[in-house]
Amino acid sequence: MDDARRHSESQDANSRALPKIAVLGGGPAGLGAAWKLAKHSKAQVELFEAGERLGGNAGSFDADGVRCDFGSHRLHPASDPEILADIKSLLGDDLLLRPRHGRIRLKGSWIHFPLKPVDLATRMPPLVSASLFFDAATAKMRAPRVEVETFGSVMLSGLGRSMCDWFYFPYMKKLWGLDPDELAPTLAKRRVSGSSLPKLIRKIFASLPGLKSPETGKFYYPRNGFGAICDKIGEAAANAGATLSLNSRVEGIEISDGRIKAIKTRSGESVATHQVDAVWSTLPLTVLARAAGEGAPEHVRRAAASIRYRGMILVYIVLDTDQYTEFDAHYFPELSIPISRLSEPKNYSAATQPDGRTILCAELPSDPGDQYWAMSDEALGEALYRWLGECGLPQSAKVTRAFTRRLPFAYPVYDRDYEAHFDTLDKWVSGIDGLLTFGRQGLFAHDNTHHALAMAYGAVDCLEPGGFNLKKWADYRREFLTHVVED
């Protein structure tokens, strides 16, 4: 028997012994898991992604010669060192370390974002800064007593009335479409890294010379768009032996005797059934429960119908100028302008090409069926340019085209009832042998890309020769609860 045949037979024997795992979703969480499972020869892996490209919400695409992301995306230096080292080794010199150069609009003034002490002191009207600091310093004493904690009450007792009314409350209302008292207190802990005065002061003063680390005020960004991280992880996964199937929407999961048996996928007109030993899903929990059909009990289906994701329209306008402004992002907490953030993709990687053209991307929180979702791309583009003008931003360039990308699953909504619904869904998943969920959509987590990857790495670490180590996974799950989003 020649060497090549012996090698391939032993490979076949190996892969026969390995469990067959279907990874659902090709965003950072699914890709990270597929890569590490294949790399460490822990499973035969096939990843199924509904879309025509990898990366999920953290992907990129080309438009009019400009590489665009799905809203402002940065890789935060706070990433876990193992994850950062992997990304650096996959991207090499194409991973840039760039200074953050954003602005936030507060009470009609533009100030640097992330906040800097000097800027706060010199750019804000003195009365405004004084009342921000006075209110924050006395917030705990003056906070109203409440019977039930909400996002609003936690923020008020942490940062005081002025900071809440001028910044956090309108911003959160815009992002989630709910009042601060309709949102769960957990949101303040997971979504707001400066949710109390000491935390905020630590963040602001960390930017002072002498106190700051070499990475403070900086972010990592791939030369060819944020999605290059996922593209490279996808390449590494395929090289390690994982199969990545695009345009494969998962429409069904088969559960029998409390075990996962198979999944059903659709690619265009063709439908296929895949027998599997395990399913690792990064799909929205609501989609997963729907795919299970009658396999999910009535109370689980009810919970899935009650938990909600917030959608977002990304409105892109193409302008006939090299650069719109020098800033990478503008943040708009005020309710008078419906968008939450504006980014200029060329500025993220300091791209100079193409000549005479740039693109702006606005993040417009919105849900399918609401007034903005129903508007045409052209109407949204026109409205966007008008809103920018109303904030005093330049209007001299000509808009040559507008287009949108509509994300139905942008943010998990932490309303006051979400925890009970999530627990029902989570218990259901945990009770099915071979089914695991993780990632932003799978664990209903407000996370960054490095957090989604950390979940994937954790899951792979739990797959041991004797089976999936549930005790270790429970420890990881507790650790994931400490993740706080960086903006």
Asked whether position 365 contacts ligand FAD by CB under 6 A, the answer is no
Pairing, β 278-281 against β 435-437:
parallel
**Amino acid sitting at position 169:** F
Facing residues of 62 across strands? 67
- 8 A C-beta contact, residue 279 and residue 22: yes
Q: Which range, of 68-76, 235-243, 256-264, 327-335, touches ligand FAD by CB under 6 A?
A: 68-76
Q: Which range, of 65-73, 90-98, 326-334, 471-479, touches ligand FAD by CB under 6 A?
A: 65-73
Facing residues of 404 across strands? 315
Quick note: the x/- pattern for ligand FAD over 219-258, rule CB under 6 A, is ------------------------------xx--------
Binder of ligand FAD out of 36, 67, 73, 346 (CB under 6 A)? 73
Judged by CB, which is closer to ligand FAD: 71, or 158?
71
Judged by CB, which is closer to ligand FAD: 282, or 366?
282
Three-class DSSP category at 20: strand
| Nearest-10 crossing angle of helices 228-239, 81-91 | 80
CB of 282 to ligand FAD, least distance (A): 5
Cα 187 from Cα 436, distance rounded (Å): 24
CB of 197 to ligand FAD, least distance (A): 25
Per rule CB under 6 A, count of chain residues that contact ligand FAD: 36
Judged by CB, which is closer to ligand FAD: 21, or 132?
21
- Give backbone dihedrals phi and psi of 368, rounded to 5 degrees, phi first: -50, 130
Quick note: the x/- pattern for ligand FAD over 17-56, rule CB under 6 A, is -------xxxxxxx-----------------xxxx----x
Written as one string, the DSSP assignment of 144-211 is: PP-SS--HHHHHHHHHHHHHIIIIIHHHHHHHHSS-GGGB-THHHHHH-TT-SHHHHHHHHHTTSTTT
CA dist list (Å): 64 to 94, 192, 353, 354, 362 = 22, 35, 11, 9, 17
Binder of ligand FAD out of 155, 359, 447, 458 (CB under 6 A)? 447
Written as one string, the DSSP assignment of 354-366 is: STT-EEEEEEEE-
- 8 A C-beta contact, residue 96 and residue 222: yes
Q: Which range, of 110-118, 138-146, 207-215, 444-452, touches ligand FAD by CB under 6 A?
A: 444-452
Judged by CB, which is closer to ligand FAD: 73, or 346?
73
Asked whether position 440 contacts ligand FAD by CB under 6 A, the answer is yes
- 8 A C-beta contact, residue 247 and residue 268: yes
Judged by CB, which is closer to ligand FAD: 54, or 136?
54
| Other Cβ atoms within 10 Å of 207 Cβ, number | 18
Q: Which range, of 69-77, 99-107, 198-206, 292-300, touches ligand FAD by CB under 6 A?
A: 69-77
Q: Which residues contact 386 (CB under 8 A, 6 or more apart)?
A: none
**Matching residue, tokens 């010379």:** 209
| Site for ligand FAD, residues 112 to 141, rule: CB under 6 A | none
| Site for ligand FAD, residues 290 to 319, rule: CB under 6 A | 312
| Site for ligand FAD, residues 397 to 436, rule: CB under 6 A | 409-410
CB of 143 to ligand FAD, least distance (A): 31
| Other Cβ atoms within 10 Å of 203 Cβ, number | 14
Judged by CB, which is closer to ligand FAD: 61, or 409?
409
Binder of ligand FAD out of 449, 460, 462, 483 (CB under 6 A)? 449
Judged by CB, which is closer to ligand FAD: 421, or 440?
440
Judged by CB, which is closer to ligand FAD: 26, or 160?
26
Pairing, β 44-48 against β 20-24:
parallel
Binder of ligand FAD out of 44, 207, 366, 441 (CB under 6 A)? 441
- Residue numbers at the binding site for ligand FAD (CB under 6 A): 24-30, 48-51, 56-58, 71-75, 249-250, 282-283, 287, 312, 363, 409-410, 439-441, 447-450, 452
